Amino acid sequence: MDNFISSRSMITPGLAGSATTMVTGALVTAFGFPGAVTALIISFVFGLTALADKSVAIYYKFIFYIINSVTIFSVAVGLNQAGMAIIERDRQTSTTVEERSLGPAEDENNDVMQAESRPFFQEWF
């Protein structure tokens, strides 16, 4: 555990970056939050793990906090861009399948009500 929380460890920003992507993607998809700002805030929250390292002086902790937070943000943005590229590639290569609603989502005019669908990976900037 000490090596995981160490400010010199690079696995912490990598895992925190993927967690930042998951949390940001969920918040952007569910609530429509701005992606870049949300990812930046969450990355700085996860960057607080650098302050838990007791083996370095306080001014080094602050430097590691900034570096780790920016690294976490960069990993999160990169994962989001990779996800968007995969989704776009799959969209271009897949065949179109028409779906029919089988639920009770029809109004009195027999029009099918469509829910707004947002992809998990979407443009943050």
Inside any domain, residue 51: yes
**Number of domains comprising the chain:** 1
Other C-beta atoms closer than 10 Å to the C-beta of 92 total 7
Residue 108 maps to a domain:
no
Residue 98 lies in a domain: no
Q: Tell me, yes or no, whether 38 lies in a domain.
A: yes
Look at residue 11 and tell me if it is in a domain: yes
**How many of the other CB atoms lie within 10 Å of CB of 83?**
16
Identify the pLDDT of residue 69. Answer: 92
- pTM for the whole thing? 0.72
Residue 117 domain-assigned (yes or no): no
Tokens coding 125: 């900037």
Beta bridge partners of 106: 112
- Give me the pLDDT at residue 1, please: 46
pLDDT value of residue 109: 54
Q: How far apart are CA 80 and CA 41, in angstroms?
A: 16
pLDDT reported for residue 54: 80
Domain limits for position 88: 2-93
Residues of the chain with pLDDT under 70: 1-11, 94-117
Report pLDDT digits (tens) over 8-23: 666 677 888 999 999 9
8 Å CB contact between 47 and 69: yes
Angle at the Cα of 98 (from 92 to 104), degrees rounded to 5? 135
